[in-house]
C-alpha cells in the first residue's frame, strides 16, 4: 500500500507542478510579451496557442492533477496518521478545483471569443481591437488567479510529501 500511496502522491505533485508552471509562465512571460504587440499579432498568437495546447501532454497534467490528487487522498483514507498528509491533500484538491472552475468559467469562454473572430490575418482591425479589449485584462487577471491557486495546491502536495516521508521513515 505504501508504494501506491507514494507513487500517487509523487505523480499528483508532479502534474500539479507542471500546470502551476504553465500558468506561471503565462503570467510572467507569455502575456507580458504579447502586451506590446499589435492586435492582429496578439489575437493570432493566442488563437494558435489555444489550438496547440489541446494535446495529450497538456491533458495529462490538466486532468491528471486532480485525478491523481484524489487518488492519493483515497489511498490515505485508511491508515493515515492523525497528523498525516490527508488534510493537505484535501486542501490541494480544493485549490486545484478552483483553477478548473476559473478555467471553465472565464478563461475558456474568453478563448472562444477570440476564436469567434475568425482568422486574425484577415479579420477587420476593429474586430481584433474589440475582442482584445474584452479579452486581455480579464484573461490575465484570471490566469494570475489560476497561477496562485495551482501554486498553492503544489505547496500543499509538497508538504504532503514531507509529512508522508516523516511517517514512513
11 contact partners, CB below 8 Å, separation of at least 6: 64, 68, 72
pLDDT tens digits in sequence order for the chain, 169 residues long: 688 999 999 999 999 999 999 999 999 999 999 999 999 999 999 999 999 999 999 999 999 999 999 999 999 888 767 678 999 999 999 999 999 999 999 999 999 999 999 999 999 999 999 999 999 999 999 999 999 999 999 999 999 999 988 877 7
Segments in the chain forming alpha helices (H): 2-25, 31-35, 39-52, 56-76, 86-102, 108-116, 125-168
Sign of CA dihedral 21, 22, 23, 29: positive
What CA–CA distance (Å, rounded) separates 156 from 108?
26
Radius of gyration of the chain from Cα atoms? Answer: 19
Amino acid at each position: 500500500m505504501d508504494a501506491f500511496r507514494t507513487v500517487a502522491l509523487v505523480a499528483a505533485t508532479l502534474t500539479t507542478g507542471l500546470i502551476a508552471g504553465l500558468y506561471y509562465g503565462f503570467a510572467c512571460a507569455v502575456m507580458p510579451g504579447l502586451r506590446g504587440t499589435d492586435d492582429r499579432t496578439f489575437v493570432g498568437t493566442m488563437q494558435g496557442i489555444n489550438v496547440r495546447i489541446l494535446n495529450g501532454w497538456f491533458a495529462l497534467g490538466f486532468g491528471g492533477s486532480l485525478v491523481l490528487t484524489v487518488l492519493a487522498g483515497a489511498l490515505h483514507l485508511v491508515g493515515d496518521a492523525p497528523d498525516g498528509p490527508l488534510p493537505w491533500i484535501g486542501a490541494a484538491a480544493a485549490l486545484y478545483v478552483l483553477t478548473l472552475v476559473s478555467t471553465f468559467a472565464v478563461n475558456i469562454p474568453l478563448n472562444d471569443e477570440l476564436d469567434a473572430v475568425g482568422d486574425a490575418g484577415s479579420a477587420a482591425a476593429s474586430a481584433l481591437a474589440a475582442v482584445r479589449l474584452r479579452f486581455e485584462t480579464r484573461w490575465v487577471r484570471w490566469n494570475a488567479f489560476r497561477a496562485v491557486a495551482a501554486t498553492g495546491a503544489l505547496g500543499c502536495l509538497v508538504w504532503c510529501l514531507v509529512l508522508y516521508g516523516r511517517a514512513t521513515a
